[in-house]
Structure 1
Amino acid sequence: MGDLLGSLPEPSDWQDIAWVGYYDGDRSLASGFADAGDAVLAAWKSGSRPNDPLLLPLIFNYRHGIELALKQAIRQAIRCVHQSGQDSCAPTISEVEAHLKSRQRHRVGPLAQQLAGILNQLQLTGLPPETLHWLMRLQQLDPSGEAFRYANHLNTDAEAIDVVRLAAFFREAFDVIHGGVLTMLDVHETHLYDMRATG
């Protein structure tokens, strides 16, 4: 019988193909979720049908992209800690990985605080205060990481939401982490590698 994906017939058009596993870890998967949020926003803006049911899928995609970007940044930051020789009190990379995969690690607030602490230890620029504040507010709205997955899990007093503005907040936070922090960590990791190679 085979697995579901492997049992699908060969596509007739190459444009219909997606390569399974074509990800650079959580980094590119995070980008995929944020891009999915953008696509849901575009569908919402089209207004071609009643679009209120798109709200939670839109938020979920952006939020999950942010979670994955935070986790990837934590992984890279911990690698930098170990490469820089500041690892006497730091958890091992495998301990961090196990921690990030635990059920409790879907909470963006603690992930953001953990990342901020490691960036501070590395003496690198941290998350901007407004981004950190916004992520903590997101944590308050979604303490378990499941508020946007089910219709009855969202606890809010809001009756109406400016979807475009909300999506802009999500996209900005994602871009700060994915485009800003991860790029900074790439540069720092290369610098540490070069220092060790020449030293």
Structure 2
Amino acid sequence: MFLVTHRAVFSRSCPSPWTENYAVLGGRPAVSSSGAAAPELETDAELAFAFRTAADLLAERWYANRMDDSLVLVVLYNYRHALELGLKVVLRALVDSIKFEVAPGDEAPEVVEKVGKKLAQTHQLSVLTGYLVQLAPMFRMRLRDDVTSLCDEVHALDPSGQALRYSMVKGQGGATVPARPDPLYVDVPEFARRAGEACTTLDLLFDQITNVQDWQVNLGPDYLRQRR
């Protein structure tokens, strides 16, 4: 009789001995001379990049090796989630920057308050792109039409982020129905190209609004600068 032993695959403390087999997720110890710094937490921007990268790699592998078509669902879902996270990252930053510019006693535009409340609740790409189209011009930015178009196409395919995860989903009246009752033909390389470009566009928008936030921190809100 053979005794099979299993090594724990998850640990809350640093494994010893350390090997290259381990990945580190979650809060990472911050480098600080005092040793009192808070851990560096993951960000949604990092996760968006991770989902996009996974989709890129799997799409390339599927095309090169003609793997099972069911893997394309994983490609689509990973790109979809990368887009959702990317949109939310940009929207949160825009909301913060717009509110920073609101003078005491004034109110932020109604759409800003709406986005701030709805952002955590919605997973619909078309709703998120709609918000971004409204907010971006407040800082002389815009969401490219090809990004909006792609997000609308993905939204039509999977409005809530469920259809790409399951073979059966909840339909009208609560009944369970097939997620894909009819054939769906996907040009995988073309979709990967467009989705990758859309993710890159969102990254660039986030960089732009981050630069705006640095400027805001250094110079203060516009309503104060006008009084000087």
**Amino acid corresponding to residue 46 of structure 2 in structure 1:** S
Equivalent of 1:119 in 129, 133, 136: 136
SS at match of 1:30: helix
Correspondence 1:164 to 2:189:
yes
**More moved, 107-116 vs 144-153:** 144-153
1:129 aligns with 2:134: no
Tell me the amino acid that sits aligned with residue 107 of structure 2.
Answer: S
- Runs of at least 4 residues off by over 6 Å: none
Which amino acid is the alignment partner of residue 58 of structure 1? V
Residue 60 of structure 2 is matched in structure 1 by 42
For residue 19 of structure 1, what is the aligned residue in structure 2?
24
Q: Retained in 2: the 8 A contact 1:141–1:155?
A: no
**Amino acid paired to 1:163:** V
- Point out which structure has higher relative CO (alpha carbons under 8 A, 6+ apart): 1
Q: How does 1:55-134 map to 2 (within 5 A)?
A: 55-85=72-102, 88-90=107-109, 99-102=118-121, 105-120=122-137, 122-134=138-150
Structure 2: state its 5+ residue gaps. 1-7, 28-40, 170-178
SS of the residue corresponding to residue 16 of structure 1 reads: coil
Q: What is the Cα-based RMSD across aligned positions, in Å?
A: 3.1
- Specify whether residues 11 and 37 from structure 1 end up closer, same or farther in structure 2 by C-alpha distance, changes over 3 A only: farther
Gaps of 5+ in 1: none
- Sequence identity percentage: 23
CA contact (8 A) 1:41 1:58 kept: yes
* Shift, 1:6, TM fit: 2.4
The alpha carbon displacement at 1:194 in A equals 1.9
Judging changes above 3 Å, is the alpha-carbon distance between structure 1 residues 10 and 118 closer, same or farther for their aligned structure 2 residues? Answer: same
Q: Determine the C-alpha separation between the residues in 2 that align with 1:45 and 1:106.
A: 29
Residues 125 and 156 (structure 1), Cα distance of their counterparts in 2 relative to 1, 3 Å cut: farther
Aligned CA distance change for structure 1 residues 10 and 45 (closer, same or farther; 3 Å): farther
Q: Which amino acid aligns with 1:5?
A: F
Aligned-partner Cα distance in 1 for 2:59–2:16? 28
CA deviation profile, 1:5-49 (whole Å, cap 9, x unmatched): 3279947663222212155410101101001101211221231x6
Deviations 1:32-86 (A, max 9, x none): 1001101211221231x63212110011011101101111111100111012227
**Contact residue 59 and residue 192 of structure 2 kept, 8 A:** yes
Whole-angstrom distance in 2 between the partners of 1:159 and 1:29:
28
- TM-score, scaled relative to structure 2: 0.72
Equivalenced residues, count: 192
TM-aligned CA distance change 1:50 to 1:196, over 3 Å: closer
Aligned residue number for residue 5 of structure 2: none
Distance (Å, rounded) in 2 between the aligned partners of 1:130 and 1:189:
26
* Partner deviation per Cα, 1:133-165 (whole Å, 9 max, x = no partner): 221222122112212111245448554322111
Q: Is the 8 A contact 1:76 1:185 kept in 2?
A: yes
Distance in 2 separating the partners of 1:76 and 1:41: 30
Q: Which is higher, the Rg of structure 1 or of structure 2?
A: 2
- Counterpart AA for 2:195: F
